[in-house]
Amino acid sequence: MSKLTIRTADERDVGLILDFIIKLAIYEGMGGQVTASAADIRTSLFERKQAEVIIGEVDGIPAAFALFFHNYSTFLGMANLFLEDLFVRERYRGSGIGAAMLRKLAQIAQERGCRRLDWLVLDDNVKGAAFYHKHGATALTDRRVFRLDGKRLTAFAKHKSLETGGES
């Protein structure tokens, strides 16, 4: 029988975390969009502490990872957890490790006094959505995600609109 352990990642895991991120991006059909480097991961996770990672291991072999951080609900007046990424290597899918990772995140949220654990699921990730529904999560249908990035972020930060080319 296999032994599952879930541990907090440390700085020695930077390469492993980046590998998980790349594999997740490939799984989601976005492999070419990963620009993060090991140095970026090391700086953001272990120097600036902008997010945290847990690693799921089966018999000592890294099988899954979850990257999460605190967000804030003004309505609740408190910080909650936001799950950015949860990924299970293909050979371990269906073994219960995904549910164990999600349960560990729920436990961390409760230990920290959070009332919510939120995350996003891509529209075409039907298996992921079904997995989350199976474990009691509900899909929010009353909101959309908006983003400013790249040239649009830079232009807006400089008080310029890309649509008009001038001040906004």
What does the H/E/C string look like for 123-166?
CCCHHHHHHHHHCCCCCCCCCCCCCCCHHHHHHHHCCECCCCCC
Across the chain, mean pLDDT equals 93
Confidence at residue 10, expressed as pLDDT on a 0 to 100 scale: 97
Is residue 30 within 8 Å of residue 85, measured between CB atoms? no
Is residue 12 within 8 Å of residue 45, measured between CB atoms? no
pLDDT tens digits for range 132-150: 999 999 999 999 989 899 9
Is residue 125 within 8 Å of residue 97, measured between CB atoms? no
Quote the strand ranges of the chain, DSSP E: 4-8, 52-58, 61-73, 78-88, 117-119
Neighbours of 71 (CB within 10 A): 12
Confidence at residue 159, expressed as pLDDT on a 0 to 100 scale: 80
| Tokens matching residue 54 | 């847990």
Order of all β-strands in the sheet with 78-88: 4-8, 52-58, 61-73, 78-88, 117-119
Q: pLDDT tens, position by position, for the chain (168 residues)?
A: 789 999 999 999 999 999 999 999 999 999 999 999 999 999 999 999 999 999 999 999 999 999 999 999 999 999 999 999 999 999 999 999 999 999 999 999 999 999 999 999 999 999 999 999 999 999 999 999 898 999 989 888 998 666 655 554
Domains and their CATH numbers in the chain: 4-157 (3.40.630.30)
DSSP code of residue 2: -
Confidence at residue 14, expressed as pLDDT on a 0 to 100 scale: 98
Q: How far apart are CA 159 and CA 161, in angstroms?
A: 7
